[in-house]
């Protein structure tokens, strides 16, 4: 069971990368942000993704302060 789930997650990671590339190639940069693969991956928890990005950004900025 867990092997099949891992394979499905891996395949969605691949598919979502391709979907993000296609969407970015066809988007209007003036009216929308760039897409990332996690926008198309159903296995990614969107709420956790946003909070994780904010924490990572704060950690990176903290190291840059002088």
Q: What is the pLDDT of residues 12-60, one digit of tens each?
A: 999 999 999 999 999 998 888 999 999 999 888 765 555 556 666 677 6
Structural domain total, the chain: 1
The whole model's pTM is what?
A: 0.62
Residues 6+ apart with CB under 8 A from 30: none
Q: Containing domain of residue 34, as a range?
A: 2-64
40 within 8 A of 24, measured Cβ to Cβ: no
Burial class (CB in 10 A: 0-12, 13-18, 19+), 32: exposed
Distance CA 39, CA 34 (A): 10
39 within 8 A of 49, measured Cβ to Cβ: no
């Amino acid at each position: 069971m867990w092997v099949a789930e891992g394979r499905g997650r891996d395949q969605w990671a691949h598919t979502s990368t391709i979907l993000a590339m296609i969407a970015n190639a066809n988007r209007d940069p003036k009216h929308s942000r760039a897409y990332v693969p996690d926008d198309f991956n159903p296995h990614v928890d969107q709420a956790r993704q946003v909070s994780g990005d904010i924490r990572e950004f704060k950690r990176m900025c903290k190291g840059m302060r002088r």
